[in-house]
Amino acid sequence: MTRDWLVCANCAGPVSEGRCPVCRASRQRMQRENGGFSLSPTVILWLIGLLAAITAVLYLEHQTA
C-alpha cells in the first residue's frame, strides 16, 4: 500500500499532502522505510502489460524463425 491511500487520524486529510505535523512525520517515516520509492497499482499494471507485450513479440519472432 502506498501512502497516497492513507488518511491521517489527526486531520482526516491524505497523508501524502502532509497537512499537519502528524502527516508530515508519517510521510517522512514511510519514505525512510521505503527508500522514497513506491509503485502505484497503475504503474504495476502498466509494467505487467509491457512485459506481456514484449514476451508476445519475442514468442512470435521465435515461431517465424
pLDDT in tens, 3-54: 567 888 889 888 888 889 998 888 888 777 766 566 778 889 999 999 999 9
Rounded-to-integer distance, Cα 23 and Cα 59, Å: 48
* CA nearest to 1, candidates 32, 39, 28, 31: 39
Query: Can you give the residue ranges of every domain in the chain?
Result: 3-64
Task: Give residue-wise pLDDT tens across range 43-65.
Answer: 899 999 999 999 999 999 999 86
The three cell numbers of residue 44 are 504495476
40 burial (CB, 10 Å; 0-12 / 13-18 / 19+) is exposed
Helix or strand or coil: residue 14?
strand
